[in-house]
Homo-oligomer: A and B are copies of this chain.
Amino acid sequence: MRIGELSERTGTPRRLLRYYEEQGLIVADRLPNGYRVYDGSNVDRVLQIRGLLDAGLPTRIIKQILPCLNKPRIIHFPDATPEMLATLEDERDRMTERIRCLTRNRDAVAEYLAAVRETPAPSV
């Protein structure tokens, strides 16, 4: 598929698909005329990228952790340098912290909403 279809299938502006490529998050083959071509696996990949971005991770980090998540079972160890492993451990912990914080606050919001909903409309 070309960029337009990938854009539609992922709900992502073309601009951003090009940006992700520029940042090294995805790769695209090229047709002889220069058009980018993608296969189905790119859909999932882009959705994952968007999820991570939305979750607050910068592309720099996403680029580092993506290789670890590609084929769930075919973990193909890159030149896992100690620094990279440290970065990953660090990021894993940051994610855990983020999850905790988000959960706490999400629950609080949910509780609030539940409380409001239980209250008869305060007619002025």
Binding site for B on A (CB under 8 A): 48, 51-52, 54-56, 65, 68-69, 72, 75, 77, 80, 85, 88-89, 91-92, 94-99, 101-103, 105-106, 108-110, 112-113, 115-116, 119, 122
Contacts and interface: CB of A to CB of B under 8 A. Distances in A.
B102 A106 contact: no
Most buried by B among A56, A102, A103, A109: A102
Most buried by B among A80, A89, A109: A109
Given A52-B102, A68-B112, 13 more contacts: A48-B105, A51-B101, A52-B101, A54-B97, A55-B101, A55-B105, A68-B109, A75-B115, A89-B113, A95-B105, A96-B106, A98-B102, A99-B99
